Amino acid sequence: MNNCAIKVAGLGKTYRRVARRQPYRTLRDSLANAASWPLRRFGRGTDSNASDLFHALNDISFEVNWGEVVGIIGRNGAGKSTLLKILSRITEPSAGAADIYGRVGGLLEVGSGFHGELSGRENIYLQGAILGMRRREIHRKFDEIVAFAEVADFIDTPVKHYSSGMYLRLAFAVAAHMESDILLVDEILAVGDAAFQKKCLGKMTDVAERGRTVLFVSHNLGVLSNLCSRAILLSHGQKIADGPSHEVIKRYLQEGLDQSGERVWDTPATAPGSDIARLHSVRIISNGQTTAEVAIDQPVQIEITFWNLRPGSQLSTSIHLLDKLGVEVLASANFPSASLAPDPWFGKPFPAGLFKAVCTLPANFLNDGLYSLNVLVLNRVRVQEVFARDVIRFNVHDTGAMRVEFGGRWIGVIRPRLAWHTIHEDEQHRSSVQSLAATKV
């Protein structure tokens, strides 16, 4: 028996960057155009310009077996959503083939089939029909869908009066309860608040555990790693890697690693910021060197240089450190309440010019792994801020000292050396312990 659920071979999708406006044509022009079509089809007489074409997907090939849960990752514009639209038969490929063996359900553009004038009840049946569900199937699942979406009190209200959260919850609930063999999911965790996102994830986990085939696109690498055993990495429309999810995620993150350990903007005009302040540079310094490769037993200095453009501003500097899955490990600032020693410039008016703020992370603090840095410069007078996301990334390497004791990778995001002290308690308990040991023997 064939175990293949999805087979993609040489798949390509090409778009024209700028759509050309067609001039008015007479009947004679149309007949001449039809007569020349066979020639233009084989590359003669064509007026197409290769520079106008954009390859959203280029020669993508892979197979997904029944019961597999596969994650699709890549940066914005990599071709992830285009791939799912082709597999969902929303978009036709320009080249290659995509074969699907089973009933397909898609959680792509959630809520795109809703009609604002219809009630929630009516839209459940409308959306279900668009997704390919039979009326009997929708009716059987109706109460479950409403309960999942948490809109029972407004089910007969036109959805144009729903909040955006209610609208998306209902749309997701309909699509998630479709009984399909293959489920295509595109960034569902952007739906609703944190509590509902947790419920969405639970539903996706339940779907995966039932043995259904799932193709899952998400920028939340932590969720993707937990949900998917396998991942495919796309970049500029091409497949770069395909394998165990943790290995593919590691490669994806390594591609964004700046090996120099610094990010520099030469002039304020090109730097992130505002009319108050702009960044000049961010550097990772370890053992006296600017580097993106840091030993775990060495302190790390994060050096932030910025221009103050407005004399009299009172500026504060802050960092947000995130791990490889985007989880915030820590936040720190030069506030008196957050700093070990007073910063001499805190609360003082800054003259115009270049300033440098340095934050030091102690040795044996971070666990080994990849980290990224967000930088915040705040004007405390006018409450304006400069926020630069994912400014720089760096790797922390384990020297092996603690790994030898533990026998594997140390657990956790941070790995500090903490104070431990063992003492021998009162000797009078020795007799009771000895008698208990004798009883057990």
- Give tens-digit pLDDT for 198-210: 777 777 777 777 7
CA–CA gap between residue 99 and residue 32 (Å, rounded): 37
Looking at residue 127, its pLDDT comes to: 82
pTM above 0.75, yes or no: no
Domains of the chain: 4-19+50-255 (3.40.50.300), 262-397 (2.70.50.60)
Looking at residue 112, its pLDDT comes to: 63
Query: How many CB atoms neighbour CB 302 within 10 A?
Result: 22
pLDDT in tens, 392-416: 889 888 766 555 455 556 777 788 8
Looking at residue 25, its pLDDT comes to: 60
CA–CA gap between residue 400 and residue 410 (Å, rounded): 10
Looking at residue 45, its pLDDT comes to: 43
Looking at residue 397, its pLDDT comes to: 80
Looking at residue 258, its pLDDT comes to: 57
Task: Classify residue 309 by burial, with Cβ atoms within 10 Å: 0-12, 13-18, 19+.
Answer: middle
414 to 155, 165, 175, 396: CA distances (angstroms): 47, 35, 39, 11
Tokens representing 261 are 């350990």
Distance of CA 78 to the CA centre of its chain: 13
Report, as ranges of residue numbers, the positions in the chain whose pLDDT lies below 70.
1, 17-51, 107, 109-113, 188-194, 254-259, 381-384, 399-409, 427-441
CA–CA gap between residue 435 and residue 441 (Å, rounded): 10
CA–CA gap between residue 173 and residue 162 (Å, rounded): 15
CA–CA gap between residue 368 and residue 410 (Å, rounded): 8
